[in-house]
């Protein structure tokens, strides 16, 4: 039986990962700002420890001791208007939270320290790009999100002197329980969806099941280390994604969404939607990871059938 400690366990990705681990009979430790809520959301089979101030203090080392691995998913949501305060919270929750976590891992004895840290990252690392394929060797971008992700990864990399570290750069997660797809659904169900800002920009998407399986693969494969794009091998343009979602919902998906409208609504954050990245999971494929949902329309349909 594997013991896995998870930060951000009550988020969309965290819940999916916890479900897989519990179904296998593994031991799950949730490290949360609200441990009582974590127990209520994840069930009594999960141990929960409080980490009340992730940007100001380390997590309790007893939550980490004896774990086989730590999966670090903590971070403030990106899909909000990026005021200066929001940008500070987005950055600090990732950079400082990871710094404190690595410090706590360093306080453990060699025989109680986890063998691996799988630290969540994002394809925002690459910044706004054209239609070039981006594998893990592509350089970092220079915009706000790319700078945040780069600093975030640097903090995680500090643990490499102690353990194996995998930085999973996740794309747009397909789930009805949170994230971009959940936000799109009300508009598309009303027939008000369509391509954004011309629709030529790429969406590097991934089904929630493959996210959870990919994280577990990173935990267990001793050869997994460094950056790994956690995206489907088949990214599509925004227009292609919109058409696939419309077909899955049996709704038209031709109403264009102007970039100006998104900028008025979200400000700087709109750039994440109006631009894109064509990321491919080169490293995971080299290691032999197999995606259960490699094609976008079947993946959308599978996500819509979630219970």
User: CB-hemisphere CA count at 13 Å for 62?
Assistant: 4
Strand positions, DSSP E, the chain: 3-7, 27-32, 46-50, 69-72, 116-122, 133-134, 164-170, 172-174, 202-203, 205-207, 226-230, 236-237, 278-279
Residues 293 and 299 sit within 8 Å (Cβ to Cβ): yes
DSSP annotation string for 75-95: ---SSS---HHHHHHHHHHHH
Determine the 3-state secondary structure of 298 from DSSP: helix
Residue 113 has a pLDDT of 98
Longest pairwise C-alpha distance within the chain: 58
Global pTM?
0.95
Q: Please report the pLDDT score of residue 1 as a whole number.
A: 67
pLDDT tens, the chain, 307 aa long: 699 999 999 999 999 999 999 999 999 999 999 999 999 999 989 999 999 999 999 999 999 999 999 999 999 998 888 899 999 999 999 999 999 999 999 999 999 999 999 999 999 999 999 899 999 999 999 999 999 999 999 999 999 999 999 999 999 999 999 888 998 899 899 998 899 888 999 999 999 999 999 999 999 999 999 999 999 999 999 999 999 999 999 999 888 887 766 776 677 777 877 889 999 999 999 999 999 999 999 999 999 998 6
Domains plus CATH for the chain?
Answer: 3-238+265-304 (3.40.50.720)
Predicted confidence at residue 246, as pLDDT, reads 95
Quote the pLDDT of residue 79.
82
Residue 188 to residue 259: CA distance in whole angstroms = 18
Enter the DSSP assignment of 276: B
Task: Yes or no: say if 271 and 79 are a contact pair by the CB < 8 Å rule.
Answer: no
| Cβ(205)–Cβ(235) below 8 Å | yes
């Amino acid at each position: 039986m594997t013991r896995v400690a998870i930060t951000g366990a009550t988020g969309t990705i965290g819940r999916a990962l916890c479900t897989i681990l519990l179904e296998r009979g593994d031991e799950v430790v949730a490290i949360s700002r609200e441990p009582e809520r974590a127990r209520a959301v994840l069930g009594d089979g999960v141990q929960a420890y409080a980490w009340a101030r992730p940007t100001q203090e380390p997590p309790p080392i007893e939550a980490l001791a004896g774990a086989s691995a730590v999966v670090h998913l903590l971070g403030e949501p990106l899909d909000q208007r990026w005021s200066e305060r929001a940008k500070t919270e987005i950055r600090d929750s990732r950079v400082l939270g990871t710094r404190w976590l690595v410090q706590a891992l360093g306080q453990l004895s060699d025989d109680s320290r986890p063998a691996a840290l799988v630290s969540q990252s994002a394809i925002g690392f690459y910044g706004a790009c054209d239609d070039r394929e981006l594998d893990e060797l592509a350089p970092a971008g220079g915009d706000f999100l790319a700078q945040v992700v780069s600093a975030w990864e640097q903090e995680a990399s500090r643990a490499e002197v102690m353990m194996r570290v995998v930085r999973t750069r996740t794309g747009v997660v397909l789930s009805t329980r949170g994230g971009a797809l959940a936000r799109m659904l009300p508009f598309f169900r009303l027939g008000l969806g369509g391509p954004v800002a011309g629709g030529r920009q790429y969406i590097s998407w991934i089904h929630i099941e493959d996210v959870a399986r990919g994280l577990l693969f990173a935990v267990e494969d001793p050869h997994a280390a460094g950056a790994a794009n956690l995206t489907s091998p088949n990214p599509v343009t925004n227009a292609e994604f919109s058409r696939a979602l419309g077909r899955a919902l049996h709704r038209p998906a031709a109403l264009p969404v102007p970039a100006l409208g998104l900028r008025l609504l979200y400000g700087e954050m709109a750039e994440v939607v109006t631009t894109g990245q064509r990321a491919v999971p080169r490293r995971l494929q080299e290691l032999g990871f197999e995606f259960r949902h490699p094609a976008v329309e079947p993946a959308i349909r599978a996500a819509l059938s979630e219970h």
